[in-house]
Amino acid sequence: MKTTIRQSIRTGVTFGIVHIFFILIAFNSMIAVMLAKISGIKNPGEIPEAKFYIAYTLLMGLWVGIAALNKKKSLSFGTKILSSFSTGLTVAVLAGLLDVILSVILVKKVFIRDFLSVLSFDFIKATLLGMTPVNGTLATMAFILIGALAGSCLVILNNLKAVQAFWKTLGTWTKNIIGKIQYASRGKYHLIWQLVGIVIVGFIAVFLPTKWGSYWNYVFGMVGLYVILGLGLNIIVGLSGQLVLGYIAFFAIGAYTMALLNAPEPHHLLWGFWPALVLGIILSALSGLLLGLPIMRLRGDYLAIVTLGFGEIIRILLKSDVLTSFTGGPRGIQNIQGPMLFGRPFNSEVDFVYLIIAGVILASFVYNRLQQSRTGRAWLAIREDETVARATGVDTIKYKLLALAIGAAFAGLAGAIYASRNQFTGPDEHALMASINVLSLIIVGGMGNIPGTILGAFTLKGLPEILREFANYRLLAFGALLVVMMLSRPDGLIPSSRPKYELPKETAPDVEKKEASHGK
Amino acid sequence: MNDPSPHPLDPAGDKNLNAEPASNKKPKLKRSRLIKLLRPALGVVVLLYILFRLYQVLIVQHEYGADTWTRLLISGLIIGGVYALIAIGYTLVYGILFMINFAHGEVMMFGAYAALYSFWAFKLIKMPGDINFLNAYPVIAIILAFIIGMSVSATLGYFLEKIAYRPLRKAPRLVPLISAIGASIFLQNAAMLLFSPQMRDVSNPDILRRGAGWTISVSGSNVILPYTGVFTFVLSVILLIMLYMIVQRSKLGRAMRAVALDKKTAALMGVDVDSTISRTFIISGALAGAAGVMWGLHNGLVYYFVGFIPGIKAFTAAVLGGIGNLPGAMVGGMLLGIVESMGPAALGINFQLKDVLSFVILIIVLTFRPSGLLGEVLSEEKV
């Protein structure tokens, strides 16, 4: 009993801090604006009516109540209510304290916006639910408490046997349906099902780009480019196990090759898209080799920081005054000419989406073949244990260099298409954050496999676009999501099935055979 | 992989190799010899180039006088001290957990913000005689600002470890790294939303005004030795020595070294591994906080992105000195600071390229000493 209450109070303190943090970053305003929009008000402005703030406070309380009973199934009904009540009360007290401070600021007219930028007087009034300070504080506390109790009631209702049975039935049904689909796709009709799948995907790929409008085509193209980048980095990190943090440098080399060869400024070369694409890929691969040669002895984090440094070197060089006459300096390169295919110029986003889809298919094909080849198995051996791999006769330096070069070539492909599509490239597009984004996407998706990479690209590049509504809160949510994701699914959304083959139950030749059969 | 090379432990195979250099062996030997030759050749080329540029700049062109060099050296030492303090945080955490604490720069940023706000608040406190607290008791104000900044950062470091890293201690190596990156992005944006994206000036007390300092005369012209700079440098050296004493002499330091060597054995010997790791994060956070306060005092500008570049630089410094090695981080930080401020002038290249120079130095050092300047050769399991 005592420990339960102590735990509840501790949860309450955590949520109280979260509540204060949300108020100080004006998260309540954002939710209130969203609620106002949902309820049909066209232009709620930055600070909508007080009733939406009341709704936010209730929702916050609801969340607290639900979280208070998390992982506490075995308690009795009374203890549950008591526990959620004490959590809610703690949060309410903390919220009340904040409101008292806010009230003082409001009454004394302290101009605090220099310190904490969101705390304008209008915002404080709205946070106090549009009432007088005393009433507002008490009302906030009351609403949080009511919300918490309602939340705990919801949890208790959800835990009732009848409701649980309902969820269970629903779960079984979904499982059955998925199982049937899986069975169908594996059974004797699997070829037909695969064909149907290909036709559906092909249909989406062919027809949707013409219907979507340019914004969604832009987003879709971006996701596609990041799939290519992710596959390339997967070869380096996922297959051969070398942590590379400056991957975007290769992307930049591809993009700048395309830009320099196809823009009127600064060189007026106008080679056309396709030769520049090939040259961009080759140059990226070569730079991968050149970077790899001196540092192949490094492992782990040393390699990470050196490649990070390489990425920064490329970016700073592109940006500096030294190379302005050659690469356009900080302003970048504009008016890059688009590709021509069979005499027809690519002039809309739709054409580029097709080009990117073709690129993704090519990259996935190459990736798949490489993964299942002798080279791919050499990479896996290096990833698992470099010393053992060398002892068994794998030329580790050769294969590591190869991985770096091929991964870089993928990035060169993506970069060339990217520059051509945007008709612009500049040094700041190739900052460290972009490398980190690619690395995050392959880890979030699940390292070392194609579906994971695609899902990761959608999550990390597509989701922020969908979350545009959240504006400033987008990156905050992204950061928090990365942490939560790693805590809950450290192997990524779609974990690789490779480790199965590493169990030391079988003798070595058997493992070989299994892997070979996996390739078929 | 193609040639059936003899097992390294197989004596017959060994003899085979000595007796008749088989035709399929030859190209392999040749290539390895080539790679072995490549590195010294590269080293000689780099060295010759550096000597040539130094000769050009120092003797032929004679662009800068001794006064300029002194100025550059001073600024290099100051920034080097800050880098060393942050680098210690990276190295401590890496030594124990073998993970890059990517959010360490953000921990420093919160320290800088704490300094900004505490100085601001001190300035608002009116004392009798038309003077504010900040200028009435400047020493107390500075000490208080350091205490506030260090405790804010230490608390942040503690919770960072508890929330984002502890549950992942047994996960594959890349997972905590991504978690750290996520925490870094989160903290940056939280600071932006809380404190607004605009750059702010720290209001120093009058005795530590920015720009003011002792004037010394070097070869006829005056060089300013800024008060803030001397303060920063001296304090960072003191903090580094204190930390070294803690790690080498105290019970906590012994526990930290034991955990760094082997967590399981340390636990069997009665060391509380979890609390030792927590304390490591607290110490490294406090040092980063001190670095943040110093940054605020010396550079003045504080904004939400302020921790990023020093964080990356300090990590570079830690690797340069040999990550996991305390004196290495100090040497690496100082070296990086000096190279950054004096290097471009000495080699006669554009000052925009100072970061390029520091990363090139890193690549060169790691090419010849793969575990950093002072780093010991880590065992396989650690790398």
Residues 337-376 of A with CB under 8 A from B: 374
Q: Can you tell me the distance from the alpha carbon of B342 to that of B332, in angstroms, rounded to the nearest whole number? A: 15
Between A513 and B98, where is the model more confident? B98
Report percent pLDDT > 70 for chain B.
Answer: 87
Helix ranges, chain B (H):
11-19, 26-55, 66-97, 104-124, 133-136, 138-160, 174-195, 227-249, 251-261, 263-268, 273-298, 308-321, 326-347, 354-368
Residues 243-302 of A with CB under 8 A from B: 243, 293-295, 297-302
Report percent pLDDT > 70 for chain A.
Answer: 88
- Mean pLDDT of chain A, nearest integer: 79
Neighbouring-strand partners of residue B215: B224
pLDDT tens-digit series, residues A205-218: 677 666 667 777 88
Q: Can you tell me the distance from the alpha carbon of B262 to that of B351, in angstroms, rounded to the nearest whole number? A: 45
pLDDT at A468 (0 to 100): 65
Q: pLDDT grade, residue B35 (50/70/90)?
A: low
CATH no. of B40-368: 1.10.3470
Chain B residues lying within 8 Å of A302, measured CB to CB = 319, 323, 366, 370-372
Long-range contacts of A104-110 (CB under 8 A, 24+ apart): A106/A133, A107/A133
Is the distance from CB of A94 to CB of A20 less than 8 angstroms? yes
Q: pLDDT grade, residue A327 (50/70/90)?
A: confident
pLDDT (mean) for A441-451: 80
User: Chain B: residue nearest A447 by CA?
Assistant: B174
Whether the predicted pLDDT of B322 surpasses 70? yes
Whether the predicted pLDDT of A473 surpasses 60? yes
CATH no. of A204-518: 1.10.3470
Between B317 and A180, where is the model more confident? B317
Taking the CA of residue A460 and the nearest CA in chain B, the distance in Å comes to 12
pLDDT (mean) for A167-195: 75
- Six-digit token string for B342: 């004096």
Which residue from B153, B161, B156, B155 is spatially nearest to B179, judged by alpha carbons?
Answer: B161
pLDDT at B11 (0 to 100): 39
Which among A316, A472, A487 is the nearest to B193, CB-wise?
A472
Most confident of A93-97, A107-111, A296-300, B146-150: B146-150
Among the ranges given (A37-51, A56-70, A446-460, B236-250), the one the predictor scored with the smallest mean pLDDT: A37-51
Which among B194, B315, B316 is the nearest to A25, CB-wise?
B194
pLDDT (mean) for A359-386: 87
Between A281 and B203, where is the model more confident? A281
ipTM over 0.85: no
Q: pLDDT grade, residue A187 (50/70/90)?
A: low
Lookup result for tokens 């949080």: A144
Which among B1, B186, B367 is the nearest to A479, CB-wise?
B186
Instruction: State whether residue B21 is helix, strand or coil.
Output: coil
Q: Where are the domains of chain A?
A: 2-161, 204-518
Is the distance from CB of B231 to CB of B143 less than 8 angstroms? no
Is the distance from CB of A247 to CB of A411 less than 8 angstroms? yes
pLDDT (mean) for A512-516: 47
Q: Which H or E run contains B301? A: strand B301-302
**Do the chains contact at A313 and B360, CB–CB below 8 Å?**
yes
Instruction: State whether residue B127 is helix, strand or coil.
Output: strand
pLDDT tens-digit series, residues A330-353: 777 777 777 777 767 776 777 788
pLDDT tens-digit series, residues B204-234: 887 777 777 777 777 777 788 888 888 888 8
Is the distance from CB of B197 to CB of B188 less than 8 angstroms? no
**Do the chains contact at A305 and B350, CB–CB below 8 Å?**
no
Whether the predicted pLDDT of B380 surpasses 50? no
Residue A174 Cα to chain centre, angstroms = 27
pLDDT at A467 (0 to 100): 65
DSSP A198-249: HHHHHHHHHHHHHHH-HHHHHHHHHHHHHHHHHHHHIIIIIIS----S-THH
Which among A24, A316, A482 is the nearest to B194, CB-wise?
A24
**Do the chains contact at B182 and A302, CB–CB below 8 Å?**
no
The DSSP symbol for A69 reads: T
Between A147 and A204, where is the model more confident? A147
Residues 111-130 of A with CB under 8 A from B: 114-118
pLDDT at A250 (0 to 100): 92
pLDDT (mean) for B260-285: 89
Q: Can you tell me the distance from the alpha carbon of B87 to that of A40, in angstroms, rounded to the nearest whole number? A: 53
The DSSP symbol for B165 reads: I
User: Chain A: residue nearest B321 by CA?
Assistant: A302
DSSP A314-354: HHHHHHSSTTHHHH-GGG-EE-PPPPEETTEE--SHHHHHH
Whether the predicted pLDDT of B4 surpasses 60? no
Taking the CA of residue B365 and the nearest CA in chain A, the distance in Å comes to 10
User: Chain B: residue nearest A399 by CA?
Assistant: B1
pLDDT tens-digit series, residues A285-299: 999 988 888 777 776
Whether the predicted pLDDT of B357 surpasses 50? yes
**Do the chains contact at B312 and A308, CB–CB below 8 Å?**
yes
Which among B35, B173, B195 is the nearest to A117, CB-wise?
B195
Instruction: State whether residue B126 is helix, strand or coil.
Output: strand
Q: Where are the domains of chain B?
A: 40-368
pLDDT (mean) for A427-446: 81
Between B21 and A488, where is the model more confident? A488
Q: Can you tell me the distance from the alpha carbon of A376 to that of A384, in angstroms, rounded to the nearest whole number? A: 12
pLDDT (mean) for B199-203: 83
- Six-digit token string for A480: 């928090």
CB atoms within 10 A of CB B360: 17
Chain A residues lying within 8 Å of B362, measured CB to CB = 305-306, 309
Q: pLDDT grade, residue B14 (50/70/90)?
A: very low
The DSSP symbol for B350 reads: -
**Do the chains contact at B179 and A322, CB–CB below 8 Å?**
no
The DSSP symbol for A460 reads: I
**Do the chains contact at A294 and B39, CB–CB below 8 Å?**
yes
Report in angstroms the alpha-carbon separations of A517 from A369, A389, A497, A498.
14, 21, 15, 13
pLDDT at B63 (0 to 100): 67
Report percent pLDDT > 90 for chain A.
Answer: 6
Q: pLDDT grade, residue A232 (50/70/90)?
A: very high
In degrees, to the nearest 5, what angle opens at C-alpha A462 toward C-alphas A198 and A229?
75
Report percent pLDDT > 90 for chain B.
Answer: 11
- Six-digit token string for A454: 């695609």
**Do the chains contact at A320 and B312, CB–CB below 8 Å?**
no
Q: pLDDT grade, residue A188 (50/70/90)?
A: low
Report in angstroms the alpha-carbon separations of B311 from B70, B92, B108.
26, 14, 8
Pick the residue of B123, B174, B350, B381 with the most A CBs within 10 A to test the interface with A by mutation.
B174
Q: Which H or E run contains B131? A: strand B131-132
Between A252 and B208, where is the model more confident? A252
Which among B35, B39, B175 is the nearest to A486, CB-wise?
B175
Q: pLDDT grade, residue B20 (50/70/90)?
A: very low
pLDDT at A457 (0 to 100): 87
pLDDT at A506 (0 to 100): 47
Long-range contacts of A114-122 (CB under 8 A, 24+ apart): A114/B120, A115/B117, A115/B120, A115/B195, A116/A24, A116/B194, A116/B195, A117/B194, A117/B195, A117/B196, A117/B198, A118/A24, A118/A25, A118/A26, A118/A29, A118/B193, A118/B194, A119/A24, A122/A47
Give the amino acid at A513: K
Q: Give the global pTM.
A: 0.80
Between B348 and A146, where is the model more confident? A146
Flag whether residue A134 sits within 8 Å of chain B, measured between CB atoms.
no
Taking the CA of residue A320 and the nearest CA in chain B, the distance in Å comes to 6
DSSP A110-158: ---TTTSTT--HHHHHHHTTTS-HHHHHHHHHHHHHHHHHHHHHHHHHH
pLDDT (mean) for A304-329: 80
Q: Can you tell me the distance from the alpha carbon of A303 to that of A316, in angstroms, rounded to the nearest whole number? A: 20
pLDDT (mean) for B191-204: 83
Instruction: State whether residue B173 is helix, strand or coil.
Output: coil
Chain A residues lying within 8 Å of B94, measured CB to CB = 301
Torsions phi, psi for B213 (to 5 deg) = 180, 180
**Do the chains contact at A300 and B190, CB–CB below 8 Å?**
no
Q: Can you tell me the distance from the alpha carbon of A58 to that of A282, in angstroms, rounded to the nearest whole number? A: 59
pLDDT (mean) for B162-166: 87
pLDDT at B286 (0 to 100): 92
Taking the CA of residue A113 and the nearest CA in chain B, the distance in Å comes to 9
Chain B residues lying within 8 Å of A297, measured CB to CB = 370
Neighbouring-strand partners of residue B132: B126
pLDDT at A405 (0 to 100): 93
pLDDT tens-digit series, residues A378-427: 988 888 888 888 888 888 888 989 999 999 999 999 999 888 888 888 77
**Do the chains contact at B353 and A316, CB–CB below 8 Å?**
yes
DSSP B196-247: -SS-EE----GGG-TT-EEEEEETTEEEEEEHHHHHHHHHHHHHHHHHHHHH
pLDDT (mean) for B26-47: 68
Q: pLDDT grade, residue A182 (50/70/90)?
A: low
Q: Which H or E run contains A425? A: strand A424-425
**Do the chains contact at A395 and B1, CB–CB below 8 Å?**
yes
Q: pLDDT grade, residue B17 (50/70/90)?
A: very low
pLDDT (mean) for A434-452: 82
Residues 300-319 of A with CB under 8 A from B: 300-302, 304-306, 308-310, 312-313, 316-317, 319
Q: pLDDT grade, residue A229 (50/70/90)?
A: very high
Whether the predicted pLDDT of A456 surpasses 70? yes
- Six-digit token string for B306: 């302020």
Q: Which H or E run contains B302? A: strand B301-302
Pick the residue of B186, B188, B373 with the most A CBs within 10 A to test the interface with A by mutation.
B186
User: Chain A: residue nearest B3 by CA?
Assistant: A393
pLDDT tens-digit series, residues A99-142: 888 888 888 777 777 777 777 777 888 877 777 878 888 888 88
Neighbouring-strand partners of residue B214: B225
pLDDT at A230 (0 to 100): 92
Length of chain A: 520
pLDDT (mean) for A76-89: 82
Is-cis flag, bond preceding A266, omega within 30?
yes
